[in-house]
Structure 1
Amino acid sequence: MGYLYLGLAVGGEIAGTSFLKYSNGFSKVLPSIGVVIGYILCFYFLSLAFRSIDLSIAYAMWSGVGTVAITLISVFALHESINLPSIIGITLILLGSVILNLFGSAH
């Protein structure tokens, strides 16, 4: 159940961060509401994930998967550019999350 909560937390983070792009510094009401709701859900589900997943593993997975997902959204949906060093860095973040999950303190 912890990984379901973690997935929902990542979804909330992705939604909140995506709305943040459109909030224009919190000057647009509807995207700003989306930011708040996204992050409330994100941290609520992240707190539930911590009940059964170690903090180090859950946080690494949450931040790593969220970073990769937001990068993919920014490149493919928002047509923002990305360069090779950025791709390498994001790949290392993802690999670090996988390694922590496979070999972290819980194993």
Structure 2
Amino acid sequence: MKTHEPSETDLLTRLEKWYLNECNEDWEHSFGVKIDTLDNPGWRVTIDLSDTRWADLEIVKQIDERTERDWIQIEVTKAQFVGCGGPRNLREILSRFFSIVESGEHEVNS
């Protein structure tokens, strides 16, 4: 049984809010958020965590391959969240990002 998937609007609103919270008249000039497509096909989301409270966070690569077109891979390394997934997994990639940055479990103390 699938868990409740957040709507696209919910995830985009959360991404906008997270981005705006990190903008400090400096961070946004050097860092940011990139959403690209892959040729297999799929998605790649890269979110810079440099100069944020998650800059020192490291999460080893996690891979969940369900089918050829339903898969996800995430990691946090070198101050970047990198999430990749199949063509219908963009919401899941963003959800995984928010599960990291919105939970105290992965917060890095300054």
Short-chain TM bin: under 0.3
TM-score under structure 1 length normalisation: 0.28
Which is richer in helix?
A: 1
Which is richer in strand?
A: 2
TM-score under structure 2 length normalisation: 0.27
Higher relative contact order (CA 8 A, sep 6+): 1
- Larger CA Rg, structure 1 vs 2: 1
